[in-house]
Structure 1
């Protein structure tokens, strides 16, 4: 069937594959296949799916561009492009009112601003299952104030130097 890429979903008998409708029809007729279920992928512009949800950035899961992850005290210049990265931080996480006029004038808490200074630390979180995950590539930065746990042990480690292994968790 020329299927080059597939993923186990629940067990070794259920797969998620990207194929054409005609390949799905052929596959469904095969006697060893129990069921073929087509999942509709919405046909939306790339920028609506991937953070920062902007027509200025044509990023994808395979190509995610360069960005600056803000730390407490960092200052960024606000412009028509950068606001897409930091709008949610300014409004949702740092509880400011933000009005944008003509993509060039940024009014934060009633004051016209060209720059913004961050109040908190932020993280960019990636899942280890790149193609089937919803991580920061979809929902953006994670505020430090939203982290509620701490790793206490490492389940699997490829590092063979035991001296480094124990220093990884503090």
Structure 2
């Protein structure tokens, strides 16, 4: 076997890198997951098993068949970005979900891919609206001393 450098291989073959170019934002990760679920419009995903009311540390290790998390974990880009596994805790950590948001998406009687995608996008948009509102409040509070200085 002859060993060649990357530059030499480019001249005889297409060399692809599987390393992501840049890290996706939280919203981009949620959008990617939603798009993956939308590609399965007729698939009914299973809800949480009955033991989902266990303490959170036990729930975070929860894995179950036919879950939407399995679809996300099967995606090479999301795995390359850092999705460690197909457990509930992995999804919460990677997608930046609050526990109640994760339950909103995953703890429902058999939803299809499009319904789950809508829920994921609503969660992404909710956080964006919250951040916008916080920015506006901060700007308003910062403007009060300035206005007092000008008009006071």
Give the TM-score band, short-chain normalised. under 0.3
More strand by share: 1
- TM (norm. structure 1) is 0.23
More helix by share: 2
Q: Structure with the greater relative contact order (CA < 8 A, sep ≥ 6): 1 or 2? A: 2
